Amino acid sequence: MFTLLLAACAIYLAIGERREALVLAVSVIVMITITVAQTRRSEHALRALRDLSSPRALVIRDGAARRISGADVARGDLLLLAEGDRVPADARLLATNALSVDESLLTGESLPADKSPGDTVYSGTLVVSGQARAGVEATGPRTEFGRIGASLAALESESTPLQQETGRVVRWFAAAGITLCLALIAYYVIERGEWLSGVLAGLTLAMAILPEEFPVVLTVFLALGAWRISRHGVLTRRMPAIETLGAATVLCVDKTGTLTENRMKLVDVYTGADPSRQRTLDAAALACEQDPFDPMERAILAAAGRVAEEQRASWALERDYPFGADFLAVCHVWRSPDGVRRAAVKGAAETVMGLCRLDDAAARAAQGRLEQAAQQGLRLLAVAEAPLAGDPPADPRALQFHWLGFVALADPLRAEVPGAVALCREAGIRVVMITGDHPGTALAIARRAGIDERAGALSGPELARMSAEELAAAVQRVNVFARVRPEQKLALVRAYKAAGEVVAMTGDGVNDAAALKAAHIGIAMGRRGTDVAREAAALVLVEDDFGSMVDTVRLGRRIYANIANAMRYIVAVHVPTAGMSFLPLVFGWPPFLFPVHVVFLEFVIDPACSIVFEAEDPGAEVMRRPPRDPHERLFGWRHLLISLMLGLSGLAAVCAAYGVAAASGLVDGELRAFGFAAVVFTNLALIHATRSRDLSLARSLRRPNAALWWVTGLALAALLAAVYWPPMAVIFRFEPLSAVALAWSAAAGAAGVLWYEAYKLLRPARRA
């Protein structure tokens, strides 16, 4: 567009029309200013998203632990590293606890490297196990990873499906524009012998037909869409996820922290035959991490009280048996100041009961207590202890554990979850709970949340025994999966994808990364999630809130619908503009569209498609439809046909009105003003008509959109100034119109969209 404007400016100078050349030159400056402003606005939104979505780091500042953005880590900071963290800077280790780091990104070594105090951990590497404290020595481009990362600047990202489809349509328009432009130039040269005027007319037609707004729409809508989503507590790491959101059919969500508040409180202690309540609590406290982040462990320590706190402070932790896929518990071996060793374990009932080797009666009693509490939606952790005479064994199963009982914890359901689940159901989205909890607990929470649990719950062991065919059948009917291991999440994602579903999956752990990557939309937990999970995901929930996830789906549908409506408007509006660039010549009428007139129209079209449609909020209706077909093309033949029909009907109305006006004897200036006013009114009518694919004009006018009225008002004011204010009228070569003629031009603009309004009223409600 800039090139065409400059070419037209040069031709005006060549033929001595300095005033028109000056107007076009000023227009170029204004359009560049608008483009820069739009780009800065988009970049500002993306820069804010980059700052928010950078890896998080836990540092000690002013004597307190703080979670900050990895980009804010500075030399001299004291880092606290734990399993699943992405190291944010090059740092020297000061203290370690069984630290193992995956350095494959730097070294290519597949095996993790064990680290000791004095060693260096590098930015970008992953803590596989253990904990550490480290002093930051280098950040950003001064790190080893930063030096390597500089080479990425030469790589280009692949375009999204939306960009590819838009490019295809732009190529169609370009081919049509070039063909018509050459034909128009040939007409001028052959019929009139005026090659310079022919080139000017050809440039006008090219400017009228060129859909240069497409890249503006994609840039502005996706960038500002990601910014709008971030205001709902969701960060967009990959732009294509915004395109996919509107097509999601299954939301696979974790229970803890997503459906519930992740605010655990110890509500009861169930003991066996002889142990006391305090003894069970003490053992559970000893099985907690030394500096716990898990809310259940914090609740246990708070309930255990000062005695357990003093015991943990004075005793030495000799061995840590971590939670794992084949050991669903945490076991610690402690040594008292007088040398007595004691092992404490807490975790899944089946694991701890197996360690204790309970007899049938005790096992039945424990299982009964477990089922009873699970029906109430309580989270039970089994607790046991074992004395040690010598050094801790390599495997905790070798210890002789003594059964103590359960600690019961409650995590209340988030208040907004039932309403959000109901909204998903109305939108045709199936909510599936996948949790590591007991099946009874999972079913109780699902029941309260409104998730369909009539098919019961499938447990991880049951999933492990299923064939691929049985799993495919199970995912069609079951909505609650309990005691699920992280690797089984990946199997569930693949099963849903094989069934044709568009899957959104939440996750937080290192082992969830594969499922997040495999899902169409991976959603990582921002608060409790690991850096690995966040990097594998397309979206990050800042507050781990299910309500935010549903808001994001709604916004994703809104963004896609607004892009589709904006594209429909762009296609439609270029048809009458381009058509009236050459049809008057075909019918022997005086031409009235020149580059300055097309520039005027562009100043209406650009803000309409990049501001008005982006600000459009379809409201609750967007969640009353089933998910969009993921294979549906933005420019399918049906949608493209409707857009072209809208443009052609607008062109027909304007052309007919212009023909009548030409026959009525209007002078050239009045006729030119009449035709141009009709095109402007057609433009405004198309904006209002294409705001919604469902609502009639009367209903859509009641939907607030301040940008719409600003653009409409300014366009009408500019039109009146161009027609009736002499300094502008001279530039546009207009003569003042009578009020009747202006009213007829407005009627012609509105007439072109009347059939579309009737079409929206008569057809059945759109369901896709």
What are the residue ranges spanned by the domains of the chain? 1-38, 60-149, 169-210, 234-260+414-544, 265-410, 557-622+632-768
**CA-closest candidate to residue 125, choices 142, 147, 100, 150:** 100
Q: What is the pLDDT of residue 141?
A: 78
φ and ψ at residue 92, rounded to 5 degrees: -95, 130
Range with lowest mean pLDDT among 121-130, 213-222, 371-380: 213-222
Higher pLDDT, 694 or 94: 94
**CA-closest candidate to residue 214, choices 718, 601, 605, 632:** 605
Quick check: 529 pLDDT over 60? yes
CA-CA-CA-CA dihedral for 75, 81, 85, 91, to nearest 10: 30
What does R_g of the chain's alpha carbons equal in angstroms?
34
Token digits of residue 380 = 């039970």
Task: Report the distance separating Cα 241 and Cα 162, nearest Å.
Answer: 11
Higher pLDDT, 307 or 463: 463
**CA-closest candidate to residue 72, choices 86, 96, 89:** 89
Task: Report the distance separating Cα 81 and Cα 98, nearest Å.
Answer: 12
With a CB cutoff of 8 Å and minimum separation 6, the contacts of 538 are: 236, 237, 238, 240, 241, 521, 522, 523
> Regarding the domain delimited by 60-149, which CATH topology (the fold level of the hierarchy) does it fall under?
2.70.150
CA angle, residues 598, 601, 605, in degrees to nearest 5: 130
Which band of pLDDT confidence, cut at 50, 70 and 90, is reported for residue 150?
A: low
Quick check: 14 pLDDT over 50? yes
pTM: 0.68
φ and ψ at residue 246, rounded to 5 degrees: -70, -15
> Regarding the domain delimited by 234-260+414-544, which CATH topology (the fold level of the hierarchy) does it fall under?
Rossmann fold (3.40.50)
Task: Report the distance separating Cα 248 and Cα 627, nearest Å.
Answer: 6
> How many other β-carbons are positioned within 10 Å of the β-carbon of residue 120?
13
Quick check: 376 pLDDT over 90? no
Range with lowest mean pLDDT among 68-72, 372-376, 460-464, 527-531: 527-531
Report which listed range, 1-5, 59-63, 761-765, is most confident: 59-63
Quick check: 148 pLDDT over 80? no
Quick check: 383 pLDDT over 80? yes
Mean pLDDT, the chain, whole residue set: 80
Quick check: 432 pLDDT over 90? yes
The percent of the chain in helix, strand and coil, each rounded to the nearest 5, is: 55, 15, 30
Which band of pLDDT confidence, cut at 50, 70 and 90, is reported for residue 105?
A: low
Mean pLDDT of all residues in 250-270 = 82
Token digits of residue 552 = 């994001």
Same fold flag, 60-149 and 265-410: no
Q: Where are the alpha helices (DSSP H) in 587-693?
A: 595-607, 637-663, 668-689
Is residue 81 within 8 Å of residue 133, measured between CB atoms? yes
Tell me the CATH class for 557-622+632-768: mainly alpha
Helix orientation angle between 595-607 and 706-724, rounded to the nearest 10 degrees: 160
Task: Report the distance separating Cα 40 and Cα 396, nearest Å.
Answer: 59
**CA-closest candidate to residue 203, choices 548, 578, 557:** 578
Which band of pLDDT confidence, cut at 50, 70 and 90, is reported for residue 9?
A: low
**CA-closest candidate to residue 591, choices 197, 211, 207, 210:** 197
Q: What is the pLDDT of residue 52?
A: 52
Token digits of residue 163 = 């960009």
Q: What is the pLDDT of residue 155?
A: 44
What is the homologous superfamily of the domain 265-410 according to CATH?
Calcium-transporting ATPase, cytoplasmic domain N (3.40.1110.10)
CA angle, residues 339, 333, 121, in degrees to nearest 5: 115
Q: What is the pLDDT of residue 528?
A: 65
Is residue 455 within 8 Å of residue 655, measured between CB atoms? no
Is residue 134 within 8 Å of residue 59, measured between CB atoms? no
Beta bridge partners of 332: 320, 344
Q: What is the pLDDT of residue 674?
A: 92
